Structure 1
Amino acid sequence: MALSTSPTPSGAVPADYVRLLFHYLDRRGIAAPALLGEPAPAESAPPVSAAHWRRLLERAAAHLHDPALGLHVGSTITPADLGPLGYVLLSSASAASALERYVRYQRLVHDVSPVRHYLHDGALVLEWSEQSRTVGLLVNQCGMAALAAFTRRCTGASESDAASPLAVHFVEEAPHDMAPYAQTFGCPVLFGQSATRMLFSPAILGLPMRRADAALAAMLERQADAMLAALPRAAGADGALEQQVRRLLPAHVLQGDAALDAVAAALGTSARTLRRRLQQQGLHFRALLEDTRRQLAQGYLADRRLALAEVALLLGYSEQSAFNRAAMRWTGMTPRKWRAALLAACDADAPARTSAG
């Protein structure tokens, strides 16, 4: 299989997303690190450039002689592969609210080409920007297959339901073998189009999510603001910087983007400058991040609806073991024992609150 000659793409994709390829190769009995020339992205690894993601897919596709590899990799996606955002989408009240969140946070999933949605000729259209022309067919395959699979899994819908696309448009030239596309999407797939698109029936907007829980979804988004609103206001310019960082961190943790450079960019400065300014005040970014995660963890663990693995992901840990180690540092307890203690304290306090009421 020839490597792509399309322009070098800009943007990046999350490390969690890239791990899909490593897992796919592992399931095929292929030593992914040896084939791809690098280990799987580590926990909390920074995003991978779109150009590098394309090269990884091309290398694997050439080895497997599979020009439709992107379809096969993207189809394996689960909510966990989108990190915390996956659970925010999954707990949305309906596909309509999940779509709104997907568009709002799309850069966290695939920061390559912005997406917009509109109604046209009786169809709900998701359309990606002109940048989708630069990433190559394998990357677009993977992104479109992942969206189709994620939609079906999150709504619990079968291929005959409204969650299945009506049509899929690719900007690239048509491949020789169309069978993998028909199998993946179950609808007409057109090539040489003016934009990368996926069309759905508007009825999809009314579908409930498989784990619909509007209160949980709202809680995940409100948790950070509620926690930070309780912080006392710091006096002076130095205190203001710490408060600004603390106010930004919870949202970045939730979005899976709590690296120093991301927070610095949100403050309109460089990572180096932010680190220096914090150090001048005797502060360290890692310590502020750790404290934020600890406080968020306490709130999440007090909610019985969240599994421990989901709490780990919401805190930005891709592996449960990392959350276990963090909980031991913070409390000397495993997450399970910490949760039990928190719930016991809540239950003990409940009669007092009832009597007071």
Structure 2
Amino acid sequence: MPENSPPKQNALGDISLLYAAVLLRATEAEGGNIDKLKARFRLDDAALASADARISIPRFMRLGHAAITATGNPALGLRMGALTRPVDAGMAGLAAETASSVRQAFRSLIRYSLLTSQNSRGEPSVDEFQRTVRFYSIQPYNPYNYFVVDSILAAWTQLARHITGRYDVLEKVWIEYPSIGLDDVFESWFRCPVEFGARENAIRLKESVWRQSPSQAHEGMYEKLSGVCERELRQIRKGWSVADRVRHLLTPLLRGETPTLEILAARLGTTAWTLQRQLSAEGTGFRQLLDDTRKQLAEDYLKETDTSLAEIAWLLGFANPPAFHKAYQRWHGTSPGERRKQIRSDS
């Protein structure tokens, strides 16, 4: 039976179907039946070929889990990485391919990541001094999202290999989720030590690689491509209200705690009083925005994922599950457990 169509907007985020196309290529390479997956998830060739089409994050995770089940390969994310090309990251990938150095390539790839992915969990980052590229935490981990971390770290590694012509590009890999018993497979693929159960998801590139000029480095083309990316990035952010900017920063900070107005103001480079005044001018306030964000995220977690109620409470920044239950009862007049039962019954 085909998966139900996702909502027009999903508070948990969405990503380009370019990534789904890579997942399907990896599935086919591993002997999986991609026609069945495309039918189940209603993915047609026109959408998969589009540079602008999107898929919700939860839907992408379900697609990945179904692909792993179909292939029997729990390390399918590594296969995805091996089959990832610069163009699969959109214009940002093409700009990275023509950068003057690997350092500049990753700086561009991370700067323009918003062009192909918007995730409530956070944004990737690059530490140029440490030669480290980081992928945000997507706790709690489960069989539906291990492959996401694998595929991103592997795709970054593959980019470095592709633009340098070298295979031994890394010093170390850190993976936040605990070992699933494939340590040797991962170390063989990355060709460096891999630490599971780490404090972050990241790769560190060798110094010689970090400084190396890509084989297709071209100053004029890089300037043109990065200029296109800058315009698209400005266009995305141009439509953001102050409330949108606060919500964008707020959601990743919710895990296990409630961020304060002062913290958000500092992130935006302003004062708490000024931020509150700006929100008030838009007809909202920090407390209302926090409550509305939690309400929307809670509904999407219940509808789109199998995340436990205790984990949802933590992800929404509540002190404990009873506090989440009390808030949900206030929002909807029912408990989150009853709401989940209703959703599953309707499905």
TM-score by length of 1: 0.56
- How far did 1:111 drift? 3.4
* Cα distance per residue 1:5-31 (max 9 Å; x no partner): xxx993322111210012223344543
- Which stretch shows the higher mean deviation, 74-83 or 53-62? 74-83
Q: 1:89·1:98 contact (CA, 8 Å) conserved in 2?
A: yes
Give the alignment partner of residue 151 of structure 1, picking from 160, 165, 172: 160
Write out aligned runs for 1:109-258 (5 A): 109-112=116-119, 113-118=122-127, 123-131=130-138, 136-159=145-168, 164-222=169-227, 251-252=231-232
Distance between the aligned counterparts of 1:15 and 1:129, measured in 2? 20
| C-alpha spacing 1:89/1:43, structure 2 compared with 1 (3 Å) | same
Deviation by residue 1:245-277 (Cα, 9 ceiling, x = unmatched): xxxx9933xx7xxxxxx95763348xxxxxxxx
Q: Displacement of 1:151 after TM fit?
A: 1.1
* CA deviation after TM superposition for structure 1 residue 218, in Å: 0.8
Change in Cα spacing, 1:35 to 1:100, as seen in structure 2 (3 Å) is: closer
What is the Cα deviation at residue 133 of structure 1?
Answer: 5.3
Match of 2:49 among 43, 49, 53: 43
Identity level (%): 18
Q: CA RMSD in A?
A: 2.8
1:302-330 CA-partner distances (Å, limit 9, x unpaired)? xxxxxxxxxxxxxxxxxxxxxxxxxxxxx
**Mean alpha-carbon deviation: is it higher for 35-44 or for 178-187?**
35-44
Map residues 38-117 of structure 1 onto 2, 5 A cutoff: 38-40=42-44, 41-44=47-50, 45-112=52-119, 113-117=122-126
Give the AA of the match of 2:80: V
Q: Could you tell me how far apart the structure 1 residues matched to 2:201 and 2:139 are? A: 7
Q: Cα deviation per residue 1:48-90 (whole Å; 9 max; x = unaligned)?
A: 2221111111111112221111111122111222222221111
Measured at CA, do residues 193 and 268 of structure 1 come closer, stay the same or move farther in structure 2, by a change above 3 Å?
closer
Question: Once the two structures are superposed, what CA deviation does each residue of 1:260-299 show, in whole Å capped at 9, x if it has no partner?
Answer: xx95763348xxxxxxxxxxxxxxxxxxxxxxxxxxxxxx
Structure 1, unpaired ranges of 5+:
1-7, 225-248, 256-261, 270-357
Give the conservation status (yes or no) of the 8 Å contact 1:75–1:184.
Answer: no
The residue number in structure 2 matching 1:31 is 33
Indicate if the aligned counterparts of 2:126 and 2:132 stay in contact, CA closer than 8 A: yes
Whole-angstrom distance in 1 between the partners of 2:114 and 2:139: 13
- CA deviations on 1:192-227 (whole Å, 9 max, x unpaired) are 1111111122333310011010111112344x6xxx
- Report how far residue 39 of structure 1 moved: 2.5
Shift of 1:169: 0.8
63-72 or 20-29: which moved more?
20-29
The answer to whether the 8 A contact 1:118-1:126 is kept is yes
Structure 2: gaps (5+ residues)? 1-9, 242-347
Aligned residue pairs, count? 223
